[in-house]
A and B are shown apart, each in its own frame.
Chain A
Amino acid sequence: MATSGVDTDLRGGGEPADPRRSAGLTDPMADEGPAAPEADAPGEPGEPGELAEPDEPGRRRATRGAINLAARGVGELLITAGVLVALFLGYQLWVTDLLQARTQARLHDKLTETWSEPATPAPAEPEELPPAVRPDPAPGEGFAVLRIPRFGDDYAPVIVEGVTDAALRDGPGHYPGTAMPGEIGNFVVSGHRTTYGKPFDRLDELKPGDPIVVEVQDRYYVYRMTRSEVVTPDRIDVIEPVPEQPGAAPTEAAITMTTCHPKFSAKNRLIVFGELDKTVMKTPGGAVPFQGGEV
């Protein structure tokens, strides 16, 4: 009965019910109406207009309404799914960057404040560098600024302690337990290559010899990029004190940066290695090493 009702309804252009129906279609809200009247129909015979009609057209309308409703429901679900995916993309590509930019600004302010306190005492002999103060950051706390001249003078993300998801949302994260900047051993930093400010977005552009500057309270550690490689995520030996040589005793201060590879994938890791070249003390009003395009 239901299908035949639909059939006649679809073909029945000249039926008496038609003028009412087409009149109803001119009002968009009336078109969405069938659900409610259909449910109400049996229980409330007193309702005017709708139920004054003969029984047969009423059922036809109800069937058509049910099909319309189902079609609309599916359509709305599909559109909702599409919007959801688009929104997630927008979140990944845009919102996460905004979130990290805000966090980084806060970290910079905090670091500037911390560093304005008296630094290390002046060296007894001017030829010698004063002893470095080892930063002792709490998890999530910013303690150094990374500067990579190839990425521009504006590139200065604050490195935070830890490589948890939360820490990496704030900025490049230092592997707990690995060396601190300038120390003999391996200073390991991980950072997002996409999303969350993508600090390591262009890590693949580094060339051997490129300076990688790590700024701490009173000095700059200038590392030089030595090499890079793409490894599987289980290659924890890249963060050894001597990279890729488990058990070896370190004699050099190394830096290792890890990020994802390829972009937008968690399949592999891009690893960039570097070694400490020199240490430059901060001077009042002194410029950041390599600032201004000199590489």
Chain B
Amino acid sequence: MYGWIYRHLPGPTPVRALLAVLLALAVVALLLFVVFPAVEPHLPLTGVTVRG
């Protein structure tokens, strides 16, 4: 999977490495700022209010 992605990145090795890092950072950012905040309320990790 990761090998396949790496092989399909354009450019010489340094460019590919940079692109790979950027791609990884983009995925992490997406997870931290979009996916996790959206998923979090549905997990039974924290509940601080009383509700009827």
Contacts and interface: CB of A to CB of B under 8 A. Distances in A.
Interface of A: 29, 32, 35-36, 72-73, 76-77, 84, 87-88, 91-92, 95, 163, 165, 168, 173, 175, 190-195, 200, 231, 233-236, 238-239, 258-260, 264-267, 269, 271
A84 B31 CA distance: 9
B32 A258 contact: no
A259 B48 contact: yes
A195 B47 CA distance: 11
A193 B31 contact: no
B32 A260 contact: no
Given A91-B36, A265-B45, A266-B46, A236 B51 contact: yes
B35 to A, nearest CB: 9
A96 B45 CA distance: 13
Contacts of A238: 50
A168 B40 CA distance: 13
A1 to B, nearest CB: 27
Contacts of B48: 163, 168, 190-193, 200, 258-260, 269
Contacts of A264: 45-46
A234 B50 contact: yes
Given A87-B31, A168-B49, A193-B48, 12 more contacts: A35-B4, A72-B3, A84-B31, A87-B28, A87-B32, A88-B31, A91-B36, A165-B41, A191-B48, A236-B50, A265-B45, A269-B48
Interface of B: 1-4, 7, 28, 31-32, 36, 40-41, 44-52
B50 A36 contact: no
Contacts, number: 79
A91 B32 contact: yes
Given A35-B4, A36-B7, A91-B32, A258 B50 contact: yes
A236 to B, nearest CB: 5
Contacts of A91: 31-32, 36
B1 A76 contact: yes
Nearest to A36: B7
A236 B50 CA distance: 5
Contacts of A175: 49
Nearest to B36: A91
A93 to B, nearest CB: 11
Contact of B46 (A29, A35, A36, A192): A192
Contact of A265 (B7, B36, B44, B49): B44
A266 B44 contact: yes
Contacts of A72: 1, 3
A65 B36 CA distance: 36
